Amino acid sequence: MEWVVCPLFSGSKGNSSFFATQDTRILVDAGVTMQQMKQGLEAIGADFSEIHAILVTHEHIDHIKALGPIARKYGIPIYATPKTWQAIRLQGRSGEFPIRTVIEFDPDRAFLIRGIRVVPFSTSHDAAQPTGFAFDNGRRKVGIMTDTGYATSGAKEALFGAHTVILESNHDPELLRANPRYPEQLKVRIAGRRGHLSNADSAAFLSDLVRGGTCQVALAHLSQENNTPELAYDTAAQGLLEIGAVPGQDLNLVIARQEGPVGLLGV
């Protein structure tokens, strides 16, 4: 097996995903408590002691909650763009980071982690310098894109040809519009160009990915208020059927969960 990919936690209450080859284990984001992270890793037979790097997509709390505690307890190198680091520090909620754990990367330039080529790409979100990632071990590519108002050209380029992708499918626009508990301003933010990806926009991008050879997808960062797993799945499946791809047959389509890992996606 080339890769194991697993969304450990996914949704507005916290996000973290696991990407591993035989030799290298990477987390993207650490947005639940350290204890929850530990349990999530244990559930898939992994452990903090064997994580080589944590990559941060952006500074929102649902992506960085456990970052400070993990850095101080385990000393794992944490990669973020310069502006994301700055925003994390400005928030002042994560405490000090040991110097050896802080690594900055250029969002426009690929870099290596233990032989894995990491290709960051800009996403469109109301954060300082938000990014997604593609990972390539030289034989297979995998990737993640969440927290973006639309699929940027960088995302399309980086994720094209990826075997497995964790892909945001945040909300159903009708449910969002009709939600009486959300103030108008928040609705505009979520649905905006620098907000979150709707089910339909996610489905459209998914179809592009599948045309490019993607055969495994976890729909992620589902809103608990403005979406349901069924709506997200059905919207994606509908889009796929339109290009002649049958979920469960031509590709493996799963829904990431807030509560814990969805299982391991082997590549």
Closest by alpha carbon to 30, among 50, 14, 13, 51? Answer: 14
The smaller minimum CB distance to Zn ion, of residues 41 and 144, is found at: 144
CB of 45 to Zn ion, least distance (A): 26
Residue 62 engages Zn ion in binding (rule: CB under 5 A): yes
CA dihedral 255, 94, 111, 193 (to 10 degrees): 50
Q: How many CB atoms lie within 10 A of CB 45?
A: 8
The residue assigned the tokens 């626009």 is 173
Contact 51, 37 (CB under 8 A): no
Minimum Å distance from CB 211 to Zn ion?
A: 27
Query: Least distance (Å) from Zn ion to the CB of residue 128?
Result: 11
> Which residue sits closest to Zn ion, CB atoms considered?
60
Least distance (Å) between residue 127 CB and Zn ion: 6
Which among 3-11, 54-62, 111-119, 185-193 is the span making contact with Zn ion, rule CB under 5 A? 54-62
Asked if 59 touches Zn ion (CB under 5 A), the answer is no
Q: Which region, judged by CB under 5 A, interacts with Zn ion, from 39-47, 59-67, 94-102, 108-116?
A: 59-67
CB of 147 to Zn ion, least distance (A): 4
Reduced to 3 states (helix: H, G, I; strand: E, B; else coil), residue 44 is: coil
Rg (Cα) of the chain, in Å, rounded? 17
- Cα 27 from Cα 30, distance rounded (Å): 8
- Restricted to residues 78-137, the positions that interact with Zn ion (CB under 5 A) are none
Per DSSP, 132 falls in state: E
Can residue 163 be called a binding residue for Zn ion (CB under 5 A)?
A: no
User: Would you state the structure tokens that stand for residue 1, as one six-digit string?
Assistant: 């097996």
Binding part of the chain for Zn ion, among 40-48, 55-63, 155-163, 207-215 by CB under 5 A, reads 55-63
Among 147, 168, 172, 201, binds Zn ion (CB under 5 A): 147
Contact stretch for Zn ion (CB under 5 A) within 18-26, 145-153, 158-166, 198-206: 145-153
Answer for which of 25, 60, 141, 171 binds Zn ion (CB under 5 A) is 60
CB of 107 to Zn ion, least distance (A): 16
Count of helix runs (H) and strand runs (E) in the chain: 9, 14
Cα–Cα distance for residue pair 9/166, rounded to 1 Å: 12
Stretch that binds Zn ion, among 39-47, 140-148, 171-179, 226-234 (CB under 5 A): 140-148
Taking the CA atoms of residue 83, residue 68, residue 260 and residue 104 in that order, the dihedral angle to the nearest 10 degrees is 30
Tell me: does residue 25 bind Zn ion (CB under 5 A): no
- Distance from C-alpha of 25 to C-alpha of 176, rounded to nearest angstrom: 36
Interface with Zn ion (CB under 5 A):
60, 62, 147
